[in-house]
Amino acid sequence: MDLLNTLVDKGLRRELPTREEALAVLATSDDDLLDVVAAAGKVRRHWFGRRVKLNYLVNLKSGLCPEDCSYCSQRLGSKADILKYTWLKPDEASQAAAAGLAGGAKRVCLVASGRGPTDRDVDRVSETIKAIKDQNEGVEVCACLGLLSDGQADRLREAGADAYNHNLNTSEGTYGDITTTHTYADRVDTVQKAHAAGLSACSGLIAGMGETDEDLVDVVYSLRELDPDSVPVNFLIPFEGTPLAKEWNLTPQRCLRILAMVRFVCPDVEVRIAGGREVHLRTMQPLALHLANSIFLGDYLTSEGQAGKADLEMIADAGFEVEGAGQVTLPEHRTGEAGGCGSHAGTGCGPGADAGCGSHAEAGCGSHEGGGVCGTASASPATATPADEPRTDLVAVRRRGAGTDLAPNA
């Protein structure tokens, strides 16, 4: 297919595809899907080999958010039966992080719900960053605290933060349809503040909220312009008790095409599969590793993910390897400017209050709070759910890990 050959050539040169080319990827048929994955996989392997970076979420403060993001179970007015608790103490957060690091994660994402941190909150998170770094040499720490005020990014950087997450989530033209308590421009401003402070910027999107192909291309092109080092791709989990509870618009094939489009537009950045991979990719998750070079290990902010052991087995069975603590994630031309975990210099893909380091859970740092039930067994052929029916059985509220007395999933 001439389109795919052209996109591979452009990806290897870090050249921006045309909008028509990006839209054409999303419009490919299921018959061409493996060709699309193979082509985008060439670009992924050129820049990142067969390495998979593992990230681990710690929800520092769950629920009780004043923002009204439609996708989020922690939103104002949410009726979702999620865990609700105030700030974890630094030692509690450090213990939670240790579980993920022991499982192979090299980055810890510290997330707190809310519009944005107060100066006291920044002090609190700074103490947590210090506690984690004192006990875990070489660990990367990403903060995801919502909208930043002047000077707060610098303070987080001084405290030892390596990165800051704030997702754009959707296109500027449709942003007002999902959130009214802050603007798209507010999110862009926070990503720019992180850049200016020397933090590695992490910003991504949420697919499956009823957006058009044009909306998806718009937000990914906006991200490329903002140029973050990592781009989390979340797949909406329609959480009961939220306004988007009935939006089951994704198939595994659709998710793979979206990931391929992101890889072609953002060839040399860390593309991370974030919330919703278990719910929407399901048994196709291993194919997604040919497109993305980063995932979250274990559970998300307010929902449970695939068992950590299953994640590691999936990576190995698919012929990939977990990226080691001593390996640099980003290509050489992007490293060296942003705290050692990557730089926002170069022609990368760029950017969000809530969704965190890959999450659409307000200020969430890694997932839009979805995730499959840990240890869920596949249905037998006789009882398998038809592909076009919602898989509500794969959505489970997190009841373990941070904020509970139960061991975390890592």
pLDDT of residue 319: 98
pLDDT of residue 301: 81
Which entry of 75, 124, 224, 272 is annotated as an active-site residue? 272
pLDDT of residue 27: 98
Tell me if residue 72 is catalytic.
yes
Report pLDDT digits (tens) over 182-240.
999 999 999 999 999 999 999 999 999 999 999 999 999 999 999 999 999 999 988 88
Report pLDDT digits (tens) over 43-59.
999 999 999 999 999 99
Tell me if residue 266 is catalytic.
no
- Whether pLDDT at 367 is above 90: no
Report yes or no on 255 lying in a domain: yes
Whole-model pTM: value is: 0.88
- Whether pLDDT at 359 is above 60: no
- Determine whether the annotation assigns residue 266 to a binding site: no
Which entry of 14, 109, 263, 365 is annotated as an active-site residue? 109
Strands 200-202 and 270-273, bridge-based pairing: unpaired
Report pLDDT digits (tens) over 153-169.
999 999 999 999 999 99
pLDDT of residue 339: 38
How many domains does the chain contain in total? 1
Six-digit token string for 14: 């870090």
Cα 229 to Cα 118, 163, 201, 204, 248, distances in angstroms? 26, 9, 6, 10, 30
Say how many C-beta atoms besides its own lie within 10 A of residue 393's C-beta. Answer: 12
- Determine whether the annotation assigns residue 157 to a binding site: no
Tell me if residue 65 is catalytic.
yes
Report yes or no on 359 lying in a domain: no
- Determine whether the annotation assigns residue 202 to a binding site: yes
pLDDT of residue 357: 44
Which entry of 14, 65, 187, 334 is annotated as an active-site residue? 65
Give the CATH number of the domain where residue 207 resides. Answer: 3.20.20.70
- Whether pLDDT at 175 is above 70: yes
Report yes or no on 7 lying in a domain: yes
Which entry of 144, 202, 255, 374 is annotated as an active-site residue? 202
Q: Measured between alpha carbons, how far is 232 from 165 in angstroms, rounded to an integer? A: 9
Report yes or no on 316 lying in a domain: yes
Report yes or no on 272 lying in a domain: yes
Report yes or no on 51 lying in a domain: yes
Report yes or no on 338 lying in a domain: no
Tell me if residue 272 is catalytic.
yes
- Determine whether the annotation assigns residue 65 to a binding site: yes
Domain enclosing residue 235, as ranges: 2-324
Six-digit token string for 196: 């200016």
Tell me if residue 341 is catalytic.
no
Which entry of 14, 44, 51, 72 is annotated as an active-site residue? 72
Report pLDDT digits (tens) over 302-313.
778 899 999 999
pLDDT of residue 23: 98
Report yes or no on 384 lying in a domain: no
Q: Measured between alpha carbons, how far is 214 from 191 in angstroms, rounded to an integer? A: 23
- Determine whether the annotation assigns residue 349 to a binding site: no
Tell me if residue 202 is catalytic.
yes
Six-digit token string for 40: 């985008």
The overall average pLDDT reported for the chain is 87
